[in-house]
Amino acid sequence: MAVKPKVLVTREVFDETLAYLGRHCEVESNQKDVPFDADTLAQRLKDKDGVVCCLTDRIDGQLLARCPRLKVAANIAVGFNNIDLAACTAHHVLATNTPGVLDDSTADLAWTLMLAAARRLTEAETYVRAGQWKGWHLKQLLGVDVHHATLGIIGMGRIGQAIARRAEGFEMRVIYHNRSRLAADIEQRLKATYVSKDELLAQADFVVLQMPYSPQTHHLIGEAELKKMKPSAILINSTRGGVVDDTALIRALKGGTIRAAGLDVFESEPRLNPEFLALKNVVLAPHIGSSTEATRSAMAMTAAQNAVAALTGGTPPNLLNPECKL
């Protein structure tokens, strides 16, 4: 009987994910969901052939040097800034992600933040829960309209396009900026117009960020960019912490440089800057962009399928480093 490859699942996952992995692999799972520090992760991986990991796990050269058997790192996320691809390739480790399955749920969350920030929903709920609401009046918690406004999307990949598609129902003007311009037929289908980043910042009523985090996108939105936005504009970050300079954003929100923000991600999360908590004009969420039962289940299963493919002689469908040779 063939020996099954050994796999570590670093965080709690769904029963069906473990059942699928168990049919193909010998599985050790962290169902207690206590994040591993770097040393513990290395210890757990030293005799493993594969790891199904999360964005909380750093997969880098230092770790891989201690895990000589490792053949695949299957990330339960579309983003992979927690994985050093060059180090994986150097150590002959296939790296994978989970694109596609979370696009719509993440787009929904971006819209949730947009609507909540525009209509001051966090502030309104706090007002009601504190027992301060004494009745209706005309100028109570005045917000701004989303319909007929200009939506600016920076990062027009799959999720950015899903965000743009939803704008049609609000009869919004959609402008976007991307590393490369979309094909004309896609622009036409999305009713989206390509502009420079500076044009987008100057024109948009809502600026939505949806690009991967990398050294090139670090602090893509900082003090200078915030000053280019309208004082009435709202910034939405539903992509990755570090794309926005949080300290500069706090100053902008305090000083009225922009109207409001909706944030699902933060620099150094979960240790967000405590000054955010004192602001009324920011909606805060704990990195839940893809957090629906159906989507997170699909993400975990996709990662498991990537791992099994790599460990049974196949090519993972979502391979990030095809230049890697096992």
Q: List the chain domain ranges.
A: 6-100+293-311, 103-284
Catalytic residue list contains 287: yes
Domain 6-100+293-311 annotated CATH 3.40.190.10: no
Tell whether the model's pLDDT for residue 96 goes beyond 60: yes
Going through 184-307 in order, the beta strands assigned E by DSSP cover: 192-194, 206-209, 234-237, 260-263, 282-284
Residues 246-303 have pLDDT tens digits of 999 999 999 999 999 999 999 999 999 999 999 999 999 999 999 999 999 999 999 9
By residue count, the chain amounts to 326
Query: Residue 220: its pLDDT value, please?
Result: 97
Torsional sign, CA 108, 232, 284, 35:
positive
Residue 53 CA to residue 11 CA, distance in Å, equals 7
Give 225-234 pLDDT, tens digit per residue.
999 999 999 9
Domain pair 6-100+293-311 / 103-284, same fold = yes
Is residue 177 flagged as an active site residue? no
Catalytic site residue from 11, 120, 240, 296:
240
pLDDT digits (tens, 9 = 90+) for 306-319: 999 999 999 999 99
Mean pLDDT of the region 165-182? 97
Domain covering 103-284 assigned CATH 3.10.20.740 in the classification = no
Summarised one tens digit per residue, pLDDT across range 102-155 is 999 999 999 999 999 999 999 999 999 999 999 999 999 999 999 999 999 999
The amino acid that residue 257 corresponds to is: T
On whether the pTM is more than 0.85, the answer is yes
Confidence of residue 325 (pLDDT cuts 50, 70, 90): confident
Active site residue 24: no
Q: Which of 187, 223, 269, 275 is catalytic?
A: 269
pLDDT at 58 over 90: yes
DSSP 245-274: -HHHHHHHHHHTSSSEEEES--TTTTS--G
